[in-house]
Amino acid sequence: MCLSLWCFRENGPREKVLGARRRDRGGLATYIRKSQEVEARVRQTIDEIAASGRSILVWGTGLHTQRLLAMSSLGKVNIAAFVDSNPKYQGQQLHGVPILAPGRLAGRTEPILISSYAAQHEIAQQIREKLRLANELILLYELPQ
């Protein structure tokens, strides 16, 4: 009789642990593959905007945007202004471009790129429902159905 978790019995505790590790590795590989696919779509979208030369607004100035500025062609995009709901960023600059409060977008016609994964849906709702803006929205991630 073995009292250790590492017994070599078939279907024993050790086999269950090893099977779980194999499943976790498969799940991790799937997660990494899907993350790479999403990242590729984000980069392609930003590359297309940069190549077009059109002027846009970028909603969000946090780590997501800063990462995109450093690691994608977002820094080459013609950004007219950044937008952020956080008052501590408003009136400042990011990448030499002014950061505006959402209320300052009235009358602006540029497309708005939403630079947020976690809050993309809520920001899109705010733009449409609260601010009632008709600007084209550029979404980097698929909205939930």
Domain ranges of the chain: 13-139
Mean pLDDT, rounded, for 80-99: 97
The CATH number assigned to the domain with range 13-139 reads 3.40.50.720
Mean pLDDT, rounded, for 17-24: 56
Mean pLDDT, rounded, for 75-100: 97
Q: Which two tokens stand for residue 46?
A: 């930003």
The predicted pLDDT at position 5 comes to: 40
Is the predicted pLDDT of residue 31 greater than 50, yes or no? yes
The predicted pLDDT at position 3 comes to: 46
Vertex 17: Cα angle to 16 and 18 (nearest 5): 90
Is the predicted pLDDT of residue 2 greater than 80, yes or no? no
Mean pLDDT, rounded, for 71-100: 97
Annotate 27-72 with DSSP letters as a single string: HHHHHHHHHHHHHHHHHHHHHHHHHHT-EEEEE--SHHHHHHHHHS
Q: What is the mean pLDDT of the chain?
A: 86
Long-range contacts of 98-101, Cβ-Cβ distance < 8 Å, separation of 24 or more:
99/61, 100/57
Helix (H, G, I), strand (E, B) or coil at 46: helix
Q: Which two tokens stand for residue 129?
A: 């429902």
Q: Which two tokens stand for residue 118?
A: 């976690």
Q: Which two tokens stand for residue 58?
A: 């970028």
